Amino acid sequence: MESTLDIFVKAIFTENMIFAYFLGMCSYLAVSKTVRTGVGLGLAVVFVLVVTVPMNYLLENYVLKEGALSWLNPEYGVSGSKTIDLSFLSFIMFIAVVASIVQLVEMLVEKFAPALYGALGIFLPLIAVNCSILGGALFMQDRQYSTILDATSFALGSGIGWFIAIVSLAAIREKIRYSNVPPALRGLGITFIVTGLMGIAFMSFMGVEYGKKKQEKTNTISGGAVETSQIINVKQEN
């Protein structure tokens, strides 16, 4: 079993939302033109993930999962005679929770933390349809974390991973403005390729061993490293 800390570190580096699963790419590409907006959106994502994933965790474990309603009546449990399995409803429940929490958070932040609202303001409504938030909930369901603490640390880790990704891309894009990029690649094209190269760099974290569980990933790593250097050489020649 992985420890809470393992889950946290893994979510930031090895299983980074952007570089390993491409979640939240739309806003990632659209809002990464300057570091300032990147930081704003990144913070908002961390915040909303940390609030919604535990909520959805409770929903999953006390309402949706097969037999999860046993606290109402033991008959509804997995071993009871009238087992209830509501897991087919999970998509609609998760997205409803995400959308309403985002709305609620927006109102609360506006009321009690105007400074934070000024920083996150326009990004909060965008987040309801950011794939990384729903993706966080769905991965949480898929991986069946054993405690709510694990789920929260996964959410915090994913959020921070997303934050690192968007801030570093924004910084690179600010610099790229001064480079002579081939005309057809300008803007979107070069952003895709830069993100791809950053993803390859992040793959080097795949060798990190978590806890006592040793994974045999050395092969992929060495293969990846060789090809990365080749690609970098090709780029330099160009």
Partner 1 sequence: MSNTEEKVKAPSEPLFSKKNKRLITDPLSDNNPITIQVLGICSALAITVQVEQAFWMSISVIFVMVFGNLIVSLLRNLIPSRVRIIVQLVIVASLVIIVNESLQAFVPDVSEKLSVFVGLIITNCIIMGRFEAFAMANKAWPSILDAVGNAIGYAWILLLVALVREVLGSGKIWGASIFGNNLPGEESGLYALGYVNNNMMILPPMALIVVGIIIWVQRSMNKELVEEN
**C-alpha span between 235 and 231 (Å, rounded):** 6
Which residues are CB-contacts of 142 (< 8 A; sequence separation ≥ 6)? Answer: none
**Distance from the first to the final alpha carbon of the chain:** 47
Residue 182, both tokens:
């081939």
Instruction: Out of 89, 108, 149, 232, point to the residue binding partner 1 (CB under 8 A).
Output: 89
CA 218 to centroid of chain Cα atoms? 25
151, 57 in Cβ contact below 8 A? yes
Instruction: Out of 64, 120, 128, 169, point to the residue binding partner 1 (CB under 8 A).
Output: 128
Piece in contact with partner 1 (CB under 8 A), picked from 41-49, 72-80, 153-161, 218-226: 218-226
Which residues are CB-contacts of 171 (< 8 A; sequence separation ≥ 6)? Answer: 35
Nearest to partner 1 of 153, 191 (CB atom): 191
Helix (H) or strand (E) holding 154: helix 148-176
Query: Nearest distance from residue 179's CB to partner 1, in Å?
Result: 9
Phi, psi of 210 (to 5 degrees): -105, 130
- Is 125 a binding residue for partner 1 by CB under 8 A? The answer is yes
Instruction: Out of 1, 112, 142, 234, point to the residue binding partner 1 (CB under 8 A).
Output: 142
- Is 24 a binding residue for partner 1 by CB under 8 A? The answer is yes
Q: Which of 105, 104, 127 is nearest to 24 (CA)?
A: 127
- Is 225 a binding residue for partner 1 by CB under 8 A? The answer is no
- Is 88 a binding residue for partner 1 by CB under 8 A? The answer is yes
In 3-state terms, what secondary structure has residue 80? coil
Map the footprint of partner 1 across residues 163-182, applying CB under 8 A.
177, 181-182
Query: Nearest distance from residue 199's CB to partner 1, in Å?
Result: 3
Site map for partner 1, 190-209, x if CB under 8 A? xxxx-xxxxxx--x------
Interface residues with partner 1 (CB under 8 A)?
A: 19-26, 29-30, 88-92, 94-96, 99-100, 103, 125, 128-135, 138-139, 142, 177, 181-193, 195-200, 203, 220, 223-224, 227
